Amino acid sequence: MSRISETFEALRSRGEGAYIPYVCAGDPNREFSLRAIQTLCASGADIVELGLPFSDPIADGPVIQGSMQRSLSAGFKVEHIFDLISRARSDGVNQPVVVMSYLNPVLRYGVPEFVRRLAGSGGDGLLLVDVPLEESEAIDRLAAENGIDTVKLVAPSTEDSRLGNILAKATGFVYVVSVSGTTGTRDSLHDDALGLVSRVAARSRVPVALGFGVSKPEHVSAAMRAGASGVVEGSRLISLYSDSLGNLEAGLSRMAAHARQMKDATSLR
């Protein structure tokens, strides 16, 4: 059983869902990214989703686009993400780490070497947001050979006939996208998103996590009631420090307080 699967199993036995914060690696610098991971893991994060910056992040909204641009401007390279994960492990971070990336930087680096180094650094999962299911077989096989889970996306536009194929290939967990469009905070979760969670959870053999727009404890509670096993949050977290880049310590404090509130809302009891 993978570390991701073990985490969800332990949470289920305690009557909790998974809080999965997303941060873009290298924003605004590598040292802050390490501290952000440490802070979030000490404040309730069950799994960390670590974004690999890319120059054309078509699935992301302005907050994450800005985060990626700051990281790239600071000189972040693909190989730095492996060092970041290794350092987090050396500093006592035990939570699973899933790297979320677009395909282009992984291809340029070399898929076999990327997967090998991800596993060697202590990474646990890989989510490639723009790889069609029909083209993922070789990457999925390499990942499995290296003990890396491959997280798959389900969107509101996903048809039932295609959903079965996605669920058959997903390992670790399935990431349900709450809305068509890009990442970003939203005031509420639409009933259609919660209905999609319920539909996917009823058919999935792996846990289901809801993302895109999750930013409030009440969003977490609603997702849990709908059948989600976890939630992914990114844009709101990033804004807690990016709105005041001149005072990153205060940003870390805000992230910690917010993470605790979000984690508390995952209780299923």
Give the span between the Cα atoms of 99 and 52, in whole angstroms.
Answer: 7
**Among 46, 60, 124, 140, the one annotated catalytic:** 60
Which tokens belong to 227?
Answer: 């059948």
**Are the beta carbons of 148 and 171 closer than 8 angstroms?**
no
**Are the beta carbons of 125 and 148 closer than 8 angstroms?**
yes
Give the span between the Cα atoms of 112 and 62, in whole angstroms.
Answer: 31
**Among 16, 27, 49, 149, the one annotated catalytic:** 49
Phi, psi of 38 (to 5 degrees): -60, -45
Is 264 a known active-site residue? no
**H/E/C letters for each residue in 168-193?**
HHCCCCEEEECCCCCCCCCCCCCHHH
**Are the beta carbons of 155 and 123 closer than 8 angstroms?**
no
**Are the beta carbons of 54 and 105 closer than 8 angstroms?**
yes
CB neighbours of residue 158 within 10 Å: 18
Is 49 a known active-site residue? yes
Sheet strands side by side (includes 174-177): 149-150, 125-128, 97-101, 48-51, 18-24, 230-233, 208-211, 174-177, 152-154
Residue positions annotated with a catalytic role: 49, 60
